[in-house]
Structure 1
């Protein structure tokens, strides 16, 4: 079957494929020579705005494209053929499709018929070409295209048709209610599905949407509970071990070492050495002064410590005088050991 009004030459006459001819009237001026067979521009001209320019030396250039379709059920496939060989869109009996697969075929069949290249070319026309992105504004000047630009264009057209098939399947399940004219909308012309399997396929479709976020609820709950368990164990394990040690009367010495090596307990011990106290909760995590709100000055603590040193002051001071002389002697001894 043919949709055109002309009879093709034998080279273009195919009974196992749908053939489309794309004609290009290339009016673009390129800043370099183009060797691509479809966008070919090898005629050099002079132009006021360009020192060097190349244009197409042909009025029209064409490219032929064949489309073939095939339906498969695992290793059982129909032969590659044109789309009209599958009209009407009933499941091929040789494939042995089950009822759910037949319902899928009923959904895909009509939508595949809408993604043929000829349909997209009729709507998009020259806007379908990627080469348009290289053209500068309305004056028709472009940088040279690669030698394989025609292949890139065919791949892009194929990708557009595949994206159209995905969109058509989504619209089949949830078509937008487009206003055709005032008071007339698209939903008025849609015949809803009645077959239970067809309704199941429409209800089970899932697509990406920026309006929602999908996440794994089990993974999120598992992560939260695991982290909460680790926190609880971290907070309760020291107290639990301490309770066991007190009941069994074993490990009290390591427990005491554990407490006194804590930063706050070390600070308490240092302050007690300066005469600051008394303290409570010495065997807990946070020691506090027995007198609430007690304050002291740092220089006061040092003064008390200095008075304590006077009590235990040695009878003979090393040469150099007092603590400073002792420190100087230690430094000198360290230097001697380092030199030796």
Structure 2
């Protein structure tokens, strides 16, 4: 049960902190607020009836009393099921918020379009350099450097290929150490990849059989290359063949 004194909130284990000199004003204000709350509840019970089990005895109490009927019809109280708000304030917030969002999205594009068509070229270099550092422009320049695709709208935010549905060439060389793509070259057949793989294996064996002084790191690197290309089982089988 809550205490009528606010000072009870400052008590802990039988001890209390120092009470300010104007504490009695806060206590009196709290008592007045509690009294007004009780009066409002009693007034509302005149129209709605007392809650709980006694409500069934006071139902339709205003049926035969004109004064009580007038009181019930003119009684106004706040309903907790609804909340009122300012339509004007909500409209201003949504309007200015939408304006700020649209400005942040299209302001750079609009200013760039105006500067591009104006006689003064001030700031044009900085704007173009900023645009070239975007992810799509960097990707476009990487494709052009590899000779892939014919690009247009390169001065805009989103560059596109000039031909609809243009397909980029797949990787023509399978190099695990330095993979790359080169445009304008025919895609080699699977037999070509087998020959390239065989030549890399022979090169790795020739390097391993050459009597050179190599560091432990280089020896491990050569062994990993051979093991990656042909597998550890084939290495053991070939060692048995060479050294019966």
- TM-score (structure 1 length as normaliser): 0.35
Task: Give 1 or 2: higher helix fraction.
Answer: 2
Task: Give 1 or 2: higher strand fraction.
Answer: 1
Structure scoring higher RCO (CA < 8 A, sep ≥ 6) equals 1
- TM-score (structure 2 length as normaliser): 0.46
